[in-house]
Structure 1
Amino acid sequence: MNDLILYTPAGVVPKAALVRRAAKRLTKLGFEVSIDEAALLKHQRFGGDDDARLAAIHRVAKAAPHVAFATRGGYGLTRLLDRIDWKLIAKSVEQGTHWVGQSDVTALQLGLLAHAKGVTWQGPLACDDFGGDTVDDITEAVFLEAMSCELEALGFRTTEGFDGLQVKGTIWGGNLCMINSMLGTPHWPKIKGGILFLEDVNEHPYRIERSLLQLHQAGVLDAQKAIVLGEFTNYRKFPLDRGFTLKTVIAHLRTLTKTPILTGLPFGHVPTKVTLPVGAKAQLVVDGRDVLIGWEHHHEH
């Protein structure tokens, strides 16, 4: 089975052509693509009203395709968290469904991890990564390898100072703002001894620091084995920053937590991104500046 459903759980799709182009490209890559009946709905800034988007999520879960591919992020899943049938989504994962997306989709993935421990995938979004003028070769290749259950590990380069680090734990994470919005709610996954990866977009370094400090002060950072930072992009610097940068933010956080903070993960709101499991048992190893993250395989269709 290689069926793939495009659905819209959060923000409105700006142009139907984006979904159709993504569907065409994914079909050429070997998927049997279908577009959910509500994928192109519009209600305010959402891809349909709350009831329509909730029904779409449950409809996709019942269909249990090989890939449940979110069209885009934006905002909207937070409004649905109290109403989602987590057991239904978990059942689809057990049947082999790969739920894929990033950004606002982080809420769905961490909610499932909190309620049912199901493994999902942080990765591309259909419109953003497959619906544009071009598709990044690495993004496409890693996505295909992950969806074919062949991807076992990812490597990248980090800064000096972590040579010899070896940790094991649950890999989890996603968009920093979305993660912080779930802290203290029933949908928060209480992961201890994990490997936490983070990214964000349109957030100034001071806002990133504030979010990271919230996680630190809540005990989340110290409870992890490692923190891995992806890309933090599309923010505007201010004259009053006076040398305050993302680098100084990371340096400050490293003085506060005992947990190693690594940078360089090729993931975020950028064209070139990897696909990562959320909720899998993983191992992180550093050799010099080379980082390798590997994980256990789970259900195949």
Structure 2
Amino acid sequence: MILPNRLRAGDTVGVIAPASHPNQEYLEKALPFLQEELGLNVQLGKYVSEKNGYLAGTDEERLEDLHDMFKNPDIAGIICAGGGYGTSRISSEINFDLIRDNPKIFWGYSDITYLHTAFRQKANLVTFHGPMLSSDIGKEDFDTLSREMFQQLFEPTSLTYDEGISPLTVLSEGEATGEIVGGNLSLLVTSIGTEYEIDTAEKMLLIEDIGEEPYRVDSFLNQLRQAGKLHDAAGIIVGDFSKAEPKEQDAAIPLSKVLEHYFADLHKPVLSGFKIGHCFPHFAVPLGATASLSSHSKSLHITPGVK
């Protein structure tokens, strides 16, 4: 795996919107965090304010912004403005040689999961699953821990997640180490059958999602199980599943029971309760780095994502 170079105060980061049109008000409110708190300069993508229905500009425009930021030697890192939908539409046209030859920090989550998987498997690049500008940073409840997670971009930092951050539930016992992969569960499922299909073999699989009722999570996990992705994984990190309450309570199975059904008999470490995903705090992690998960110590350790 290729580790991108760390950031330094005064570096310039590019901001792009490779999926849906970001909320421009929240985007503007988020920029001082990068500029004043992190000491970075910001260059907005040419099409970051464009709107094409539910997309941030045309596929060609969003792809151009992505390529331009990797191509530009003055850009030290790329921060996604928001998620939504659209990254899978441009994946087949991405120049992965360009990304491999110009490795740099790439940060986002949600729909950006598709790009994380593609960049890791096609360009061997370590990328970062973390809070975005219009989705998180520009909002009033953006919290201290979520802010602190950006410091891992400035200095190679080993991360530890334990119950000092949030309560963790053991769904299956064990200890394992492997490359951390994954992200948004629904995006991982849509990759199956494509050339960007998530590879979980001997990997630590991270899953999270938002707004999906238990029966939908059930269907996603069933798809992963039947595709062999749960069997192949070395361990599973269950992140946040916000707004997952069933609309019809009398015909529902609790999400906890759905998770238990798919994970309890896996005979590998599976822990839930990680504040990773559409939540605050949002614990940001480098995908492609090495992670160790233990049910005995109820902890997750991750190696640095920059050099």
C-alpha distance after superposition, 1:97-124 (max 9, x if no partner): 1100000000011011221221100011
Q: Distance in 1 between matches of 2:69 and 2:224?
A: 33
In the alignment, structure 1 residue 275 sits paired with structure 2 residue 284: yes
Instruction: Identify the match of residue 56 of structure 1 among 41, 52, 65.
Output: 65
Correspondences of 1:109-124 after superposition (within 5 Å): 109-124=116-131
AA matched with 1:22: A
Instruction: Identify the match of residue 129 of structure 1 among 123, 136, 146.
Output: 136
Residue 293 of structure 1 and its aligned partner are, at CA, apart by: 1.8
Q: Distance in 2 between matches of 1:20 and 1:161?
A: 41
In the alignment, structure 1 residue 284 sits paired with structure 2 residue 267: no
Residue 82 of structure 1 and its aligned partner are, at CA, apart by: 0.7
AA matched with 2:127: T
Q: What secondary structure, in the 3-state scheme, does the structure 1 residue paired with 2:188 have?
A: helix
Q: Distance in 2 between matches of 1:55 and 1:173?
A: 25
Contact kept, 8 Å, 2:171 with 2:270, in 1: the verdict is no
In the alignment, structure 1 residue 191 sits paired with structure 2 residue 200: yes
Structure 1 gaps, min length 5: none
Call closer, same or farther: CA 1:55–1:132 in 2, change over 3 Å: same
Q: Distance in 2 between matches of 1:28 and 1:210?
A: 44
In the alignment, structure 1 residue 78 sits paired with structure 2 residue 91: no
Call closer, same or farther: CA 1:211–1:256 in 2, change over 3 Å: farther
RMSD: 1.9
Instruction: Identify the match of residue 154 of structure 2 among 143, 148, 151.
Output: 148
Q: Distance in 2 between matches of 1:231 and 1:282?
A: 18
Q: Distance in 2 between matches of 1:235 and 1:160?
A: 20
C-alpha distance after superposition, 1:28-54 (max 9, x if no partner): 111112212211111111111110000
C-alpha distance after superposition, 1:36-83 (max 9, x if no partner): 221111111111111000000001111253320000000011111110
In the alignment, structure 1 residue 171 sits paired with structure 2 residue 174: no
Partner of 1:138: 145
The total of aligned residue pairs comes to 292
Q: What secondary structure, in the 3-state scheme, does the structure 1 residue paired with 2:233 have?
A: coil
In the alignment, structure 1 residue 201 sits paired with structure 2 residue 210: yes
Residue 160 of structure 1 and its aligned partner are, at CA, apart by: 4.7
More deviation in 189-198 or 208-217?
189-198
Contact kept, 8 Å, 1:156 with 1:292, in 2: the verdict is yes
Q: Distance in 2 between matches of 1:177 and 1:156?
A: 26
Call closer, same or farther: CA 1:191–1:167 in 2, change over 3 Å: same
Contact kept, 8 Å, 2:179 with 2:290, in 1: the verdict is yes
Call closer, same or farther: CA 1:117–1:191 in 2, change over 3 Å: farther
Partner of 2:29: 21
AA matched with 1:3: T
Contact kept, 8 Å, 1:23 with 1:34, in 2: the verdict is no
Call closer, same or farther: CA 1:162–1:253 in 2, change over 3 Å: closer
Partner of 1:66: 76
Where in structure 1 do 4 or more consecutive aligned residues deviate above 6 Å?
A: none
| TM-score where L is the length of structure 1 | 0.91
AA matched with 2:93: R
Q: Distance in 1 between matches of 2:81 and 2:114?
A: 15
Partner of 1:6: 15
Residue 239 of structure 1 and its aligned partner are, at CA, apart by: 3.3
C-alpha distance after superposition, 1:267-299 (max 9, x if no partner): 1111210111111222223444x313222x355
Q: Distance in 2 between matches of 1:238 and 1:139?
A: 30
* Identity level (%): 26
C-alpha distance after superposition, 1:226-275 (max 9, x if no partner): 11101111134233544511111011112453333210111111121011
Q: Distance in 2 between matches of 1:211 and 1:75?
A: 17
Structure 2 gaps, min length 5: 1-7
Q: Distance in 2 between matches of 1:261 and 1:287?
A: 11
Q: Distance in 2 between matches of 1:79 and 1:160?
A: 37
AA matched with 2:34: L
